Structure 1
Amino acid sequence: MGITEDLADALARDAIEAAEVLEDDLLIEQVAKTLGDSSTTTQEAFLTAVRVRLAEKRARKFLETKLNAALKARQTAGDAGRANG
Protein backbone atom coordinates (compact mmCIF):
# COMPACT_ATOMS: atom_id res chain seq x y z
CA MET A 1 0.00 0.00 0.00
CA GLY A 2 0.99 3.63 -0.38
CA ILE A 3 1.50 6.10 2.40
CA THR A 4 -2.08 7.40 2.21
CA GLU A 5 -3.58 3.94 2.55
CA ASP A 6 -1.14 2.96 5.30
CA LEU A 7 -1.86 6.06 7.36
CA ALA A 8 -5.60 5.84 6.75
CA ASP A 9 -5.65 2.17 7.77
CA ALA A 10 -3.72 2.87 10.98
CA LEU A 11 -6.12 5.71 11.78
CA ALA A 12 -9.10 3.47 11.00
CA ARG A 13 -7.85 0.84 13.47
CA ASP A 14 -7.37 3.49 16.13
CA ALA A 15 -10.73 5.16 15.47
CA ILE A 16 -12.62 1.85 15.61
CA GLU A 17 -10.93 0.96 18.89
CA ALA A 18 -11.58 4.42 20.35
CA ALA A 19 -15.24 4.33 19.25
CA GLU A 20 -15.66 0.98 21.02
CA VAL A 21 -13.90 2.14 24.20
CA LEU A 22 -15.82 5.41 24.29
CA GLU A 23 -19.07 3.75 23.14
CA ASP A 24 -19.38 6.57 20.60
CA ASP A 25 -20.83 5.48 17.25
CA LEU A 26 -20.36 8.97 15.80
CA LEU A 27 -16.62 9.17 16.46
CA ILE A 28 -15.67 7.51 13.16
CA GLU A 29 -17.85 9.96 11.21
CA GLN A 30 -16.28 12.88 13.09
CA VAL A 31 -12.78 11.64 12.28
CA ALA A 32 -13.79 11.23 8.63
CA LYS A 33 -15.15 14.80 8.55
CA THR A 34 -11.94 16.11 10.08
CA LEU A 35 -9.95 14.29 7.41
CA GLY A 36 -12.22 15.50 4.64
CA ASP A 37 -11.71 19.10 5.67
CA SER A 38 -8.07 18.84 4.66
CA SER A 39 -7.76 15.78 2.38
CA THR A 40 -10.65 14.06 0.64
CA THR A 41 -8.21 11.44 -0.68
CA THR A 42 -7.22 10.47 2.86
CA GLN A 43 -10.86 10.61 3.97
CA GLU A 44 -11.85 8.14 1.24
CA ALA A 45 -8.99 5.80 2.15
CA PHE A 46 -9.96 6.04 5.84
CA LEU A 47 -13.63 5.27 5.18
CA THR A 48 -12.67 2.33 2.95
CA ALA A 49 -10.37 0.96 5.67
CA VAL A 50 -13.12 1.38 8.29
CA ARG A 51 -15.67 -0.44 6.13
CA VAL A 52 -13.27 -3.29 5.36
CA ARG A 53 -12.20 -3.68 9.01
CA LEU A 54 -15.77 -3.58 10.36
CA ALA A 55 -16.98 -6.04 7.69
CA GLU A 56 -14.13 -8.41 8.54
CA LYS A 57 -14.93 -8.10 12.25
CA ARG A 58 -18.62 -8.95 11.65
CA ALA A 59 -17.69 -11.89 9.42
CA ARG A 60 -15.25 -13.26 12.02
CA LYS A 61 -17.92 -12.97 14.74
CA PHE A 62 -20.39 -14.79 12.49
CA LEU A 63 -17.85 -17.54 11.78
CA GLU A 64 -16.98 -17.90 15.47
CA THR A 65 -20.67 -18.16 16.38
CA LYS A 66 -21.27 -20.84 13.74
CA LEU A 67 -18.22 -22.85 14.82
CA ASN A 68 -19.15 -22.64 18.49
CA ALA A 69 -22.71 -23.74 17.74
CA ALA A 70 -21.47 -26.70 15.69
CA LEU A 71 -19.01 -27.74 18.38
CA LYS A 72 -21.69 -27.47 21.05
CA ALA A 73 -24.10 -29.55 18.93
CA ARG A 74 -21.43 -32.23 18.43
CA GLN A 75 -20.66 -32.26 22.12
CA THR A 76 -24.35 -32.54 23.01
CA ALA A 77 -24.82 -35.35 20.48
CA GLY A 78 -21.75 -37.13 21.84
CA ASP A 79 -22.99 -36.79 25.42
CA ALA A 80 -26.42 -38.12 24.42
CA GLY A 81 -24.81 -41.04 22.57
CA ARG A 82 -22.72 -41.99 25.60
CA ALA A 83 -25.76 -41.74 27.88
CA ASN A 84 -27.78 -44.08 25.62
CA GLY A 85 -24.91 -46.45 24.92
Structure 2
Amino acid sequence: MSNTLDTLAAKLAEDTLKVMDETGQDRLFVEVGDVLAAASQSLEEAFLTEVRVRLAERKARQFLVGKLTEHRKKAKATESQ
Protein backbone atom coordinates (compact mmCIF):
# COMPACT_ATOMS: atom_id res chain seq x y z
CA MET A 1 0.00 0.00 0.00
CA SER A 2 2.80 2.40 0.84
CA ASN A 3 4.33 2.04 -2.61
CA THR A 4 0.98 2.80 -4.25
CA LEU A 5 0.47 5.78 -1.96
CA ASP A 6 3.92 7.18 -2.67
CA THR A 7 3.58 6.64 -6.41
CA LEU A 8 0.18 8.32 -6.59
CA ALA A 9 1.27 11.21 -4.39
CA ALA A 10 4.42 11.80 -6.44
CA LYS A 11 2.57 11.77 -9.78
CA LEU A 12 -0.18 14.03 -8.49
CA ALA A 13 2.42 16.44 -7.09
CA GLU A 14 4.24 16.57 -10.44
CA ASP A 15 1.00 17.21 -12.31
CA THR A 16 -0.13 19.84 -9.82
CA LEU A 17 3.15 21.72 -10.08
CA LYS A 18 2.88 21.70 -13.88
CA VAL A 19 -0.58 23.23 -13.66
CA MET A 20 0.64 25.74 -11.08
CA ASP A 21 3.50 26.76 -13.37
CA GLU A 22 1.20 27.18 -16.36
CA THR A 23 -1.63 28.98 -14.57
CA GLY A 24 0.37 31.00 -12.04
CA GLN A 25 -1.80 29.71 -9.20
CA ASP A 26 0.93 29.28 -6.62
CA ARG A 27 -1.41 27.92 -3.92
CA LEU A 28 -3.26 25.41 -6.09
CA PHE A 29 -1.61 22.54 -4.22
CA VAL A 30 -3.50 23.63 -1.07
CA GLU A 31 -6.80 23.31 -2.91
CA VAL A 32 -5.84 19.88 -4.25
CA GLY A 33 -4.88 18.91 -0.72
CA ASP A 34 -8.32 19.95 0.51
CA VAL A 35 -9.95 17.75 -2.12
CA LEU A 36 -7.76 14.84 -1.05
CA ALA A 37 -8.49 15.42 2.63
CA ALA A 38 -12.15 14.67 2.05
CA ALA A 39 -11.29 11.28 0.58
CA SER A 40 -7.97 10.12 2.01
CA GLN A 41 -5.96 11.75 4.76
CA SER A 42 -3.03 9.43 4.01
CA LEU A 43 -2.88 10.48 0.36
CA GLU A 44 -3.32 14.14 1.34
CA GLU A 45 -0.32 14.01 3.69
CA ALA A 46 1.85 12.16 1.18
CA PHE A 47 0.86 14.58 -1.59
CA LEU A 48 1.58 17.68 0.49
CA THR A 49 4.97 16.27 1.47
CA GLU A 50 5.80 15.58 -2.18
CA VAL A 51 4.80 19.12 -3.18
CA ARG A 52 6.75 20.75 -0.36
CA VAL A 53 9.86 18.74 -1.15
CA ARG A 54 9.68 19.74 -4.80
CA LEU A 55 9.08 23.41 -3.99
CA ALA A 56 11.99 23.39 -1.55
CA GLU A 57 14.23 21.80 -4.17
CA ARG A 58 13.26 24.53 -6.65
CA LYS A 59 14.18 27.23 -4.15
CA ALA A 60 17.50 25.59 -3.39
CA ARG A 61 18.32 25.36 -7.09
CA GLN A 62 17.43 29.04 -7.60
CA PHE A 63 19.74 29.88 -4.71
CA LEU A 64 22.58 27.85 -6.25
CA VAL A 65 22.07 29.44 -9.67
CA GLY A 66 22.21 32.86 -8.04
CA LYS A 67 25.41 32.02 -6.20
CA LEU A 68 27.05 30.63 -9.33
CA THR A 69 25.98 33.64 -11.40
CA GLU A 70 27.40 35.97 -8.76
CA HIS A 71 30.66 34.02 -8.65
CA ARG A 72 31.03 34.07 -12.43
CA LYS A 73 30.40 37.82 -12.59
CA LYS A 74 33.09 38.41 -9.99
CA ALA A 75 35.50 36.08 -11.77
CA LYS A 76 34.87 37.78 -15.10
CA ALA A 77 35.38 41.22 -13.57
CA THR A 78 38.66 40.07 -12.04
CA GLU A 79 39.84 38.62 -15.37
CA SER A 80 39.12 41.82 -17.26
CA GLN A 81 41.22 43.94 -14.90
Q: What is the TM-score of this pair, normalised by structure 1?
A: 0.88
Q: Unpaired segments of 5 or more residues in structure 2?
A: none
RMSD value, Cα: 1.1
Cα distance in 2 for partners of 1:24, 1:52 equals 18
Identity of aligned pairs, percent? Answer: 36
Matches within 5 A, 1:27-46: 27-46=28-47
Aligned residue for 2:80, secondary structure, equals helix
Cα distance in 1 for partners of 2:66, 2:15 equals 25
Matches within 5 A, 1:15-34: 15-34=16-35
What amino acid sits opposite 1:23 in the alignment? G
Residue in 1 that maps onto 2:13: 12
Q: Unpaired segments of 5 or more residues in structure 1?
A: 81-85
Structure 1's consecutive aligned runs of 4 or more residues displaced over 4 angstroms after TM superposition are none
Cα distance in 1 for partners of 2:78, 2:27 equals 45
What amino acid sits opposite 1:76 in the alignment? A
Larger Rg: 1
Residue in 2 that maps onto 1:83: none
Q: How many residues align?
A: 80
Residue in 2 that maps onto 1:58: 59
